[in-house]
Amino acid sequence: MNTLSEIASILNAYTIFGVTYHVSPDGDACGSALALVQGLRSLGKEAYIISKDEIPSNLSFLPLSMEIDGENIKVRNRADVIISLDCGNIERMSCDIEDHKGLIINVDHHVSNDIFGDYNYVDCTASATCEIVYRLLKELKVSMNKDIATCIYTGIVTDTGSFRHSNATSVTHKIVSELLKYNIEHTKIHSELFDSKPFIKLRLIGKVLDRSELLMDGKLIFLAVTNEMVRELNIDTIDTGDLVSYGLQVKDVEVSILLKEAENGGVKASLRSKNDVNVQKIADKFGGGGHVKAAGITFKNETFYSAKDKLINEFEKELISL
Ligand code: 5GP
Ligand code: MN
């Protein structure tokens, strides 16, 4: 593992940077990448986003969001360095790296990070990758401005659940207090993030909650987004966002699971924990990853029902002792 000042030295030593993140990027992935690209450009470097994914619609308010168009998937040969942000392993990168001949720098805050870079900075105590990028930009002596601050604030709000999760530390709040000095419009950012859903999304939430199941003496809640629901509502893209967190609103629920059928086969699981159950450990058993209280799995060779059975079995062992 490297220090942040070693990472800064590498950035200072090179000129052309491709910045990428995990597939299905969220506010932390997009926010950290757009903040870093702006910071590097302000130092006279050439920096660009590499992304297979388009910008999620609720993040299109971010400065430079138009540079995340899902078209730049290939690494241009001339990049000296690819910087991977908020991504635990190479397979999850929103980028094709076969052509890349230069270095890879891995900057992340996931417990499950594979340390796959030539240089690595992984800090699991950071609430968000944006928190690390803030510190990195300081190390690089980049001058903060409203646009960069907006991107970093967005990532921190996303990954701390608007400052309510246990990962929001005094360091997090100190950084945010600095960001607010740049006149970021925090109320507007929150509305863009959370109050800009298409109406159909509310109907989907209604359907999912209506069909939720409370299991294991009320300690586990199971939510599902099935292809049938998607067909019924005639939705084309389904961003389930943080639907899984609704499950934790129920008294005495310890774990919430959301399973989503993918159109092209495969099943995506989102896992959330309220208190002491480590969902990252369980995600890890199935080749997934994430954090202690928020993790995910992409099942490639399971059906919806076999994935459900396997997960419920595993959680039964964890929850029996509670
Ligand atoms: P979400 O449930 O919101 O998709 O993801 C929760 C956390 O788990 C995020 O930090 C995300 O990066 C991680 N995560 C989600 N899906 C996967 C996956 O398929 N593999 C790995 N390694 N991590 C995942
Ligand atoms: Mn993150």
The per-residue pLDDT for range 123-180, each reduced to its tens digit, is: 999 999 999 999 999 999 999 999 999 999 999 999 999 999 999 999 999 999 999 9
- 26 and 173 share one domain: yes
The total domain count for the chain is 2
Residue-number span of the structural domain to which 152 is assigned: 4-194
Output the CA 300–ligand 1 centroid distance in Å: 14
Instruction: Output the pTM of the full model.
Output: 0.94
Cβ-count burial of 143 within 10 angstroms (0-12 exposed, 13-18 middle, 19+ buried)?
A: exposed
C-alpha to C-alpha distances, 198 to 95, 126, 195, 258, 261, nearest whole angstrom: 28, 32, 9, 20, 21
ipTM above 0.90, yes or no: yes
Q: How many residues does the chain have?
A: 322
Q: Are residues 147 and 203 in the same domain?
A: no
Nearest CA, atom 10, ligand 1: 290
Residues 152 and 257 in one domain: no
- Kindly state whether residues 89 and 205 are assigned to the same domain: no
d(CA 128, CA 20): 16
Cα separation, 272 vs 109, whole angstroms: 17
Tell me the pLDDT tens digit for each residue of 194-239. 999 989 999 999 999 999 999 999 999 999 999 889 889 888 766 7
Specify the residue with its C-alpha closest to ligand 1, atom 3: 270
Contact 237, 58 (CB under 8 A): no
Residues 139 and 43 in one domain: yes
- Whether residues 142 and 228 share a domain: the answer is no
Q: Is the pLDDT of residue 77 over 70?
A: no
Say whether both 41 and 55 belong to one domain.
yes
Pocket lined around ligand 1, Cβ cut-off 6 Å = 22, 88-89, 92, 110, 112, 270, 288-291, 294-298
Best residue among 58, 298, 299 to mutate for probing ligand 1's pocket (most ligand atoms within 8 Å of CB) is 298
CA distance from start to end of the chain: 36
Residue 73 reports pLDDT greater than 80 = no
Looking at the CA of residue 270, tell me the nearest atom of ligand 1.
2
Instruction: Point out the domain boundary residue: 133, 167, 194.
Output: 194
pLDDT class for 78, splitting at 50, 70, 90?
confident
- Residue 82 pLDDT: 97
Which of 194, 216, 249 terminates a domain? The answer is 194
CATH code for the domain of 299: 3.10.310.30
The residue out of 164, 194, 224 marking a domain boundary is 194
The pLDDT assigned to 83 comes to 98
Same domain for 183 and 257, yes or no, is: no
